[in-house]
Amino acid sequence: MIIVTGFVQSGFGRYEELEEPFVDSDWSPGKIANALYSCLFAYGGWTNLNCMVGEMINPRKHLSIVIRLSCLLVTLVYTAANVAYVTVVPVAEILSTRAVALTFANRIYGMFWWIMPIFVACSTFGGANGTILTTSRIFVVASQLKQMPAFISYLHTDRLTPIPAVLFTCIISIIYLLAGDIFTLMNYMGFVQWLAIGLCVLIVVIFRFTRPNIQRPVK
């Protein structure tokens, strides 16, 4: 809906903000790092796909395809959404507001602005579902490797669902909510998360040279 509205607004010639999108930008290292943390948070889903390899029928074939397609699709959708925002809300106002979608809806949808918070809330279900699925699997493997308590790796007798790991994930998530400020939470979490991802990538490269003959189900 946002993207379609943006295209309509562009058709009316309302794209002045796109002519100089980076004017008056703050290029200090700290601001760039904070911006990257926020962006990487939005694009971070692809890093969780490998956690579901054990439940994929043919991970060797499908994993690389899913990663490429999902990254491409998300990039296109997010870019189009941001372009749509600036056709309605000035960049200066976007930087000062904490709810861009709501400001956008107030400007363009009038009395129907209330539908935007509902759609935003619904969109969080997908992210929450993906986080619960993948993070709980990480806890299960950590428990199986004796890096966490053994009960976390227990599975439901009929459905084989890792219920203790899912509940543990939910408890940790609720504790994180006590931080209050989502942007502070993203900055702290982003540093740790991407440091860990960077180390994983480095280890993969090192193992290519130091352990070239070990079995690799997915390359």
- For the chain, give the number of residues: 219
33 assigned to some structural domain:
yes
At 167 the pLDDT is: 92
- Please say whether the beta carbons of 110 and 33 come within 8 A: no
214 assigned to some structural domain:
no
72 assigned to some structural domain:
yes
At 17 the pLDDT is: 66
**Tell me, what amino acid is at 29?**
P
Number of domains in the chain: 1
175 assigned to some structural domain:
no
At 210 the pLDDT is: 92
Q: By CB neighbour count within 10 A (0-12 exposed, 13-18 middle, 19+ buried), where does 206 fall?
A: exposed
47 assigned to some structural domain:
yes
At 202 the pLDDT is: 93
At 99 the pLDDT is: 81
The CB density around residue 70, as the number of other CB atoms within 10 Å, is 14
At 219 the pLDDT is: 66
Mean pLDDT split into 10-residue runs, the chain, 219 residues: 80 70 76 76 72 76 82 86 85 79 84 84 81 86 90 87 90 82 74 83 90 78
Q: Which domain holds residue 90?
A: 1-15+28-112
9 assigned to some structural domain:
yes
